[in-house]
Amino acid sequence: MCKDIRVESRSREMVYTTTFFAASCVLVFSFAFVRSGRPVVGAEAGIIWVALAYAGQLALGRTFERELHQDALRGLLLAPVERAAIFVGKLLGIMLLMVVVEAVVVFFVAVFFSTALFDYGLLFISLLVAGTIGFACVGALFAAMLARSQSRTVLLPVLLYPITVPVLIAGVNGTLSLIQAEPNLDLARFWLALIAFFDVVFMTLALWTFEPLMTE
Amino acid sequence: MNLFDFQQVTVSKVSRHYGRRRALNSVSFHLQAGEVVGLLGPNGSGKSTLLGILSTLITPSSGEVRYGNKLSSVLGADLRRLIGFLSHDLQLYPELSARENLEFYAGLYGQGQPSSLVNEALSRARLAERAEEPVSGFSRGMRQRLALERSLIHKPRLVLLDEPFTGLDDRSTSELIERLRLLSGEGCVVVFATHDLDIADDVLDRAVVLRRGRITELPDGHASLRARYRQLVTSDNSMERRAGV
């Protein structure tokens, strides 16, 4: 992860691209969903998670592509470490990037939609973190699997979104239950628990399958 | 703590298929510590695949590879600690400097005192003066020298080199030949694939020739490696023409 941070700090390619893309998403949605100075009720929840998903997909595609340059991925696979540790390192890097994007997206949504997102800040942040883990975990696995594929840019979203739809739906509904006129904390906790369940399942599967997928 | 080590590598009837294409066909041979073995053969003969299998990056479709008396499948990270692999793609990060690349790999291989190791490696690669520059600005030869140091920074037992002389000038070539001799003297198993027969003749103890995924015996004799290889290729081509291939 430290190496990925150092590489990214030199180029800043992924940070700028994903952050700008996410901010643009929110801006476009604000034109669509804010009428006469009033946002469509509940639109913010969907906008946050859609922007995160699209920006996350951009980051995922780029993360393992970098390792293909000069076949650096093979260099990692040759290292005397558990190959699952390589996956975890990549996952943490992707999550860190997504957290940066989330901060920007949440800020813009709060500004454009005048939404009090942090009335139940702990629950809201927990939803974001748990959703990020689930999305990044599945995405990192598929991105690694498709890294050497010619059609990886097309195949990644085709594979990624159907699997992560439960996480995204839970995230949207959990966020909605926090920002609606009468917040329902029990419902938000339910959706958070669902996301956490998916996270455990996805993480277990990813750690289990990463090494066989990476071995030719 | 007893760390795993080995003095020989045994390849037994190893085959590797990619769909219908057979990259390696029942290849068997033995490698001993202290040997420098050249993998020779035309393009597409299976040299890189065989190096990939020896490095554990590629799993054979059939057959086995034993390191000492243990299979690679049971060894895992313990074995990878002892393998140094320089592939045709150099496994360097162009955004990082030469020093940062070496420090990263030294850390990845758990090397103590990485700073002194890295300084020594940079000095051997004659890159000490450009240690802080990003690798993206290096020539092919400079990257090759850096990648070689990268593959050897953890003092591996089994050294696998795919076309190590590519892009090297005369001085670097001589230094690499000397380095390979040094490694074999230290008890390493050195295997390198090359098309450069004149250079190979200077350094290797024996040659393993691959043609269409099979091992072919090089003719005996006192002629140069190039002459014997040419004799082998010529006789194979004659046989193919007679067989109507």
Q: What pLDDT sits at residue A112?
A: 81
The DSSP string of A195-210 is HHHHHHHHHHHHHHHH
Distance of residue A50 Cα from the nearest chain B Cα, in angstroms: 31
pLDDT, one tens digit per residue, over B201-214 is 888 888 888 888 88
The DSSP string of B135-198 is GGGS-HHHHHHHHHHHHHTT--SEEEEESTTTT--HHHHHHHHHHHHHHHHTT-EEEEE-S-HH
- Contact between B81 and A6 using a beta-carbon 8 Å cutoff: no
Q: Which residues of B touch A76 (CB under 8 A)?
A: 108
pLDDT, one tens digit per residue, over A17-75 is 777 777 777 777 777 776 676 667 777 888 888 888 888 888 887 777 767 766 788 88
Nearest residue of B to residue A80 by CA position?
Answer: B77
pLDDT, one tens digit per residue, over B126-149 is 999 999 999 989 998 888 999 999
B104 in reach of chain A (CB within 8 A): yes
| Residues whose CB falls within 8 Å of the CB of residue A167, separated by 6 or more in sequence, listed in order | A131, A134, A135, A138, A195, A198, A199
In chain A, which residues touch B (CB < 8 A)?
3, 6-7, 10-11, 69-72, 74-82, 215-216
- Contact between A6 and B109 using a beta-carbon 8 Å cutoff: no
Nearest residue of B to residue A66 by CA position?
Answer: B93
**Whole-angstrom distance, CA of residue A38 vs CA of residue A110:** 13
Contact in structure between A44 and A109 (CB atoms under 8 Å): yes
Does residue B240 register a pLDDT over 70?
Answer: no
* ipTM of predicted complex: 0.81
Q: Which residues of B touch A11 (CB under 8 A)?
A: 95
- Contact between B59 and A216 using a beta-carbon 8 Å cutoff: yes
Residue A175: name the closest of A92, A106, A108, A104 by CA: A106
User: Which one-letter DSSP state was computed for residue A69?
Assistant: G
Within 13 Å of residue A147, how many CA atoms lie on the same side as its CB? Answer: 25
Residues B107-140, buried b or exposed e (16+ Cβ, 10 A)? ebbebeebeebbeebbeebebeebbeebbeebee
Does residue B159 register a pLDDT over 80?
Answer: yes
Q: Which residues of B touch A78 (CB under 8 A)?
A: 55-57, 80, 83, 85
